Structure formats: structure tokens, C-alpha cells
Amino acid sequence: MYHKETNLVHAIFGTRQSRLVAISITFLTTLFTLTLLFYLAITPSTAFEDDVEAYHIPTPSPLEGVWGFGSDGVGKLKGWLGMDGRDRYAEALQLRELRSTFDQRYPADPERPARSLNGPALERLAHCIEYNTCGKGEETVVLLSSFHFINAQQGRTGGEDIWARSSIEAFTSLNYTLLYTTAPMDTLTLYQGLKDRVKLVIWEGTELKSCLKRNESNWKDLEIDHTPGKWQKAINAQIQEEKKESGEKSSRSGFGCIKRDGYEDGIPLSKSFTFHFWEGSENPLGHGFTLAPEDFSQWSKDGTGNRYLGYSIESRCKVIELPSSRQHRGMVLGKRAQYLNATLKDWMWRSDHSLDKLITSMPSGLDKHGEEVEFEMIATGGTTRDGVPEVLYDGPIRNLGTMQQDRWFQTLAESKFLLGVGKPALSPSPFDALCFGVPFINPITWFDQTDPDNWTLWQTQHNGLRGIPAPYVYNVQKGNMEQLNQAMRDAVSNPIGRYIPPQMTREAVMERHRILVETDWTEQAEKAVEELYIAKGRDVSYDDK
């Protein structure tokens, strides 16, 4: 029996091919073991924090081109082997210390709940750096320093909040690390702890202005109910002591926020953009550093406008299933009685109850059961304390009352058109309507009497829609009841499918956000300083250089 087994083993491993297989397996096993031992031997630890450069391998690497490795692959391999000159353990430790410092200085509270998101985000960043598992974009940090981003996380539905929600979605899709702040000093704390990893700060205008103004004499006034500023006071005392000992006459100070002469540790203005829903500039560097939800340059007389970032409602609207049939009705855009007051000058459709006549003269239609029904107009506005819908309009417009967003979406999707009445301007709701296959009637508030069909000269309730033709958008001149009557009837008899403007698709919006983050704006900032300040003889109190 023993001889049979011996012969069997010899038969298996006695051939030349089998010996080659065995040798190959042994070689690969030995190579893997040596590689692992080499990795463990050279991985930097806290004891070698001052000798990081000793592990740097100059480029180009001899590994490039071997086994199909390109430069990216080699970089990843070198990182995995601990040979890329980075002490990942020390970097991760620094991030965890930043998390601890931030939590102590600016603890989360009910008024600032988004702060609680920063700790886990910093830990994820620290973990992926330590173990070299960061995905593309993950080491890029964006500071969101407008309260609208916090509102978005809380589910609020104002226009700015919907825009902010879209930006959060775009940044998240790009895998950037997002951190939330509510005042200049918590923004500064995170920036100083992260430095070059921060590629972009999106400010609320008032907070950027406070950051720009902050100095040694006014910090207490600017930080009431936000941050104590004690840490910067201690830094300033240390700097003054250093000056005293060395006889230094430098203007360096421990108080500041935006980078400037004397406060080099501040946030560069070239990384500071302002989140602003309207047309005017809200940044000291002008339009180019003021972000906009709409492409205002398309309807300004001189072609200037804030930087178009835009937003998308595609993801949230597509989760709403379209109804198999629509109710025989139209819906009014406007949730406040002041928007539907026919006696005010902002009212679009005359004060003689002409709109009432159009509503009551609309032809009847069929409901979802195939039975004939009268046309009606609805609104979704306020509700009294007793839970009864308020009377928003003195006429045949039935108010269904305040609704949660999901129910409001469904109500809109079941209607045949959305009617604008002049306000609110630039509301995202018409885009929701189009995505649900509901046409929008867009009032033209002003037009050139000598060239009334030139839409590029129109001022409308929503200028972002004026270039979109029927059957999606019906642009109707203010007070022109004949045009309005035709638009209402056409909208009812010509149903549309889902429509999302090309510039508002999820992909288009994500690309603009990528460009915003991954572009170095220093040159444009210097140009803005030259044009807005130096050329006009105005003082400049900050310096990005």
C-alpha cells in the first residue's frame, strides 16, 4: 500500500510540468511573504514623524510599466507599501485631534444640528488616510458655511434650501468630504486644521462679511452666542510675547479670519464663494465669486451675472410616480394670500375678476372614472389654527391647505397645469411641475412694446423658463386675458411627459460643482482685486499670496 502511494505521489510531481508548477507556487509564496515583511519594516510610525522624507521614492519609479502599472497604479502601490513619503498614521492622528478640538469648542446643539455630522466625516477621512483606502475625491474637503445647507439637512423646502440640497447631492456624488459650520470661527477652526485639503468654502454672505471684519478689537461683538474666541486670544498673547522677546515689529496677529497681511493663517479669499439666490453680487471679489441658482448672465443687459452653479430636482422628482390620469384642474403657484390679492399692483391677471370668468368658462372634462366633471382651480396655502384651509382668493380657487412636501408633489402631479400669478419669483416649483409632466404658465411682467415677441428682452415671474416654448411653458403677457385663456385651454388639451431642462440634469449640475471645486481660482481672484480695488484706488485688506 505504501509503495502504491509513493508511486502516486511520484506520478503527480515527477513530471517536468508539475515541477514547474510547484516551483512557481513556491516563488509566489516567498515573494508575498517578503513583500509583507518589507511593508511592516518600513511603515512609518510616530517615532519617525521627523523622518518622513527618508521613505520618499523619487519619480519616475522603475515600477512604471511593469505588470501594466501606470503612474496612478504605481502611486497606489507605493502608498500601500508605505513608500510614498506620507506618514499616514500621523495624518490620521492630526485629523482625530482636530475632531476632538472642534467638538470641544463647538459642540452640537439643537440650533446647529449639522455640526454632529462633522465628527463622523472627519473619522471617515482619518480612517481612509491611515489605511490608504480613500476613494477618488474623498481627501478633498468642502466647508459648507451657509445655514441653508443645515436647513437642507433638516428637510426644509425654501428655494435656497432646495438649491443647497442639490449641491449636497452633487458634492456627495463626487465623493468629497463635507463639513458644516454656522459661524466664522468654527469655519476657521476646521480650515486651520485641514489647510490644503480644503478646496472650497461656501459662505452665507453675512458670515463672510463678519469673517472679513474680524480683528483684535471687535471679536467679542462678532462672536456673541456663537464662539468664545478664547483660543485665538491665547494665540494672540503668545505672539505678543514672542514679539516682546525678539523685538519684532511685525503686524502679525492672533486675531483674524480671512487671510491678510499680518494674519497669514486665515482662509484665502480665493477659496471663498458666497451662496446667494438673487442677482446682486454678495462677495468682495464680485460676481465671479458669488454663486447663483440661475444663469443670470443670460438675461442681464450687459451679459454679466453671478457664477452659475445651478441645481437639479431630478433625483427627488423622479421618485414620484406619475398618475395614470390627471384631475381635471389647474393649480395656482402661491401659498400666501398676499400673492393672490387681485387688488395689489403685483397681481398679473387684472382686478376685475377676469380670471374668475376664465376659470368658470373652461370646458368640462372626465375624471379618472370616466365621468364628466367641471374644471376647477386649486391652491395649497395656509391653514387656520382650527385646521381649516384659509381663504386665499376671493373667487373660484379652492384652497386645499398646507401640505407636507410628498403630498404636495402628488397634488401637483395630478393637476393639468401650474399657473403663475407674479410671485414668488424664481421658485423651484415650476421645475417640479415640468418634471411631473405639468406645463407652467409663466407671466411676462414686462416686455418691449415695439418687439413683444423678443423673449430675450422679457422680464417674467421665472426668467429661467422664458426661453422654453409651449407645450412645456406658456409665456403670457401680464393682463392679457386672451393669451391666458388660450394658454389654459392648450395646457389642458395638450398633455406633456416629464421634462428636465438640459442644464438642470443631475449630470450637468454635478459637472459644474466639480469644476468649482477642482479649479484653482487664485488668478481670477487677483484679477478681481485689480479691477475692483487697485484700479479704483480702493484699499485691499486681504492677501491670498
What is the DSSP annotation of 64-127? TTGGG--HHHHHHHHHHTT-BS--HHHHHHHHHHHHHHHHHHS---TTSGGGGGHHHHHHHHHH
Rounded-to-integer distance, Cα 9 and Cα 22, Å: 13
- For the stretch 413-451, pLDDT in tens is 999 999 999 999 999 999 999 999 999 999 999 999 999
Does this model's pTM top 0.85? no
Rounded-to-integer distance, Cα 255 and Cα 223, Å: 12
Closest CA to 283 of 525, 33, 5: 525
Closest CA to 143 of 94, 195, 108: 195
CATH of 313-504, one of 3.30.1360.30, 1.10.287.3510, 3.40.50.2000, 3.40.50.720: 3.40.50.2000
Give pLDDT, residue 22: 65
Q: Which residues pair with 154 in a beta bridge?
A: none
Give pLDDT, residue 239: 73
- For the stretch 447-497, pLDDT in tens is 999 999 999 999 999 999 999 999 999 999 999 999 999 999 999 999 999
Closest CA to 327 of 259, 410, 383: 410
Phi, psi dihedrals of residue 5, rounded to the nearest 5° = -65, -40
Measured at the CA of 424, the angle between CA 420 and CA 429, to 5 degrees, comes to: 65
- Poorest-confidence range of 11-15, 132-136, 337-341? 11-15
Task: Give the residue carrying C-alpha cell 474680524.
Answer: 214
Q: Which residues pair with 91 in a beta bridge?
A: none
Confidence of residue 52 (pLDDT cuts 50, 70, 90): very low
Cα-based torsion angle of the residue sequence 64, 68, 71, 72 in order, rounded to the nearest 10 degrees: -150
Task: Give the residue carrying C-alpha cell 511573504.
Answer: 33
Residue 150 pLDDT > 60: yes
Domain ranges of the chain: 88-308, 313-504
**How many CA within 13 A on the CB side of residue 392?**
27
Rounded-to-integer distance, Cα 235 and Cα 232, Å: 5
Residues 151, 167: contact at Cβ < 8 Å? no
Rounded-to-integer distance, Cα 463 and Cα 467, Å: 8
Closest CA to 159 of 464, 515, 478, 505: 464
Task: Give the residue carrying C-alpha cell 449641491.
Answer: 167
> Which of 4-18, 80-94, 481-495 reaches the highest mean pLDDT?
481-495
Residue 4 grid coordinates: 502504491
- What is the greatest pairwise CA distance in the chain? 113
Residues in the chain: 545
Q: What is the mean pLDDT of the chain?
A: 85
DSSP 8-state class, residue 215: -
Secondary structure percentages of the chain, helix, strand, coil, to 5: 45, 10, 40
| 83 contact partners, CB below 8 Å, separation of at least 6 | 42, 55, 56, 57
